[in-house]
Amino acid sequence: MGSSSAFVAATIFLTLMLHESNAQLNSTFYANTCPNVSSIVSNVIQQALQSDSRIGASLIRLHFHDCFVNGCDASILLDGTASFLSEKNAAPNANSTRGFDVVDNIKTALENSCPGIVSCADILAIAAEASVSLAGGPTWNVLLGRRDSLTANQAGANSSLPSPVEGLSNITSKFSAVGLNTNDLVALSGAHTFGRAQCSLFVGRLYNFNGTGNPDPTISSSYLATLQQTCPQNGSGTVLANLDPSTPDSFDNNYFTNLQNNQGLLQSDQELFSTTGSATVSIVNSFSSNQTAFFQSFAQSMINMGNISPLTGSSGEIRSDCKKVNGS
């Protein structure tokens, strides 16, 4: 083999090796060690849905809030210890993230079936897909093989998670910081096609938006009246409103039609459509008119998000209890 062809062969080999190291996750990771993992997860979620119609949205949010902080490593599930503060108590998560009990139930079921095999980080990824699928949304092959962190990062949760009131350019930057683009941002925002939000997250839009003394002008007047009834000016901040007023528990593309009708619940929702000149507007229009395009983009963006900095190989561990590091 001539030196140039040997170099090309070596380059191809190196490229494949690099690709492998970036793509250590794969959809058949548990095929031999825990073949029923997906059905076990799905069954527990189906049970939970009987008494809690919003649990699917809560579970997908756990995966999102996990992946944006130190990657998809189940750090969000850890309770605090003497050596680190829990992400559960970070401002974006405290009194807001939920579903930890269902994750524990999934873990218990998996430990009974295949002990010590399935990571808590992978449980969150599988649960997100199952939750979407069970609500009528797309299905996808979840890539697996993540391992669980040995620590949490409360400061990172406070700084890295997008806030519903911080404006589209900041949110775009936070997505970009973890390798997600504008299409991912709009597609993943479509998860607000189901679930609820507390009044405290959007009451600022209803009466005195950004200190103007008036409501946010991008809320339709009829929707504003409805929301003001749900969330009176000095009422409880914990009252819940549907993120999608039209089909609150179904995974569909109505979220995007709502934005076109000025019926986005959160500021961060409505800004995707109402920010003049933003690249997000045409994507909202596309997803509103074509649910298949939304479903395909959503599935791919969930895979992209699930690929954020996973621990693989011998990094981290497989926790036996998702709330705590092994041996603690």
10, 143, 135, 152: which is closest to 71 by C-alpha?
Answer: 152
Q: Which residues carry a binding-site annotation for heme b?
A: 192
Distance CA 184, CA 192 (A): 14
CA distance 317 to 73: 10
Question: Does 301 have pLDDT greater than 70?
Answer: yes
Average pLDDT across the chain, whole number = 94
Given a contact cutoff of 8 angstroms between Cβ atoms, the answer to whether 294 and 256 are in contact is yes
pLDDT tens digits, one per residue of 14-57: 444 433 334 489 999 999 999 999 999 999 999 999 999 999 99
306 CB neighbour count, 10 Å cutoff: 27
Report CA 11 to chain centroid distance, whole Å: 37
User: Please, what is the angle between helix 55-67 and helix 291-306, to 10°?
Assistant: 50
**Residue 241 near residue 230, CB atoms below 8 Å:** yes
Q: Which helix (H) or strand (E) holds 60?
A: helix 55-67
Residue 241: how many other CB atoms lie within 10 Å = 19
Question: 65 catalytic, yes or no?
Answer: yes
Q: Structure pTM?
A: 0.93
**Annotated binding residues:** 66, 69, 71, 73, 75, 87, 162, 192-193, 244, 247, 252
Match 């095929």 to its residue by tokens. Answer: 31
Helix, strand, coil % in the chain, rounded to nearest 5:
50, 5, 45
Catalytically annotated residue among 54, 61, 63, 65? 65
Residue-wise pLDDT tens digits, 219-241: 999 999 999 999 999 999 999 99
Q: Which tens digit of pLDDT belongs to each residue from 186-207?
A: 999 999 999 999 999 999 999 9
* Residue numbers belonging to the annotated binding site for Ca(2+): 66, 69, 71, 73, 75, 87, 193, 244, 247, 252
For 89-147, the DSSP string reads: GSTTTTTT---HHHHHHHHHHHHHHSTTTS-HHHHHHHHHHHHHHHTT-------B--B
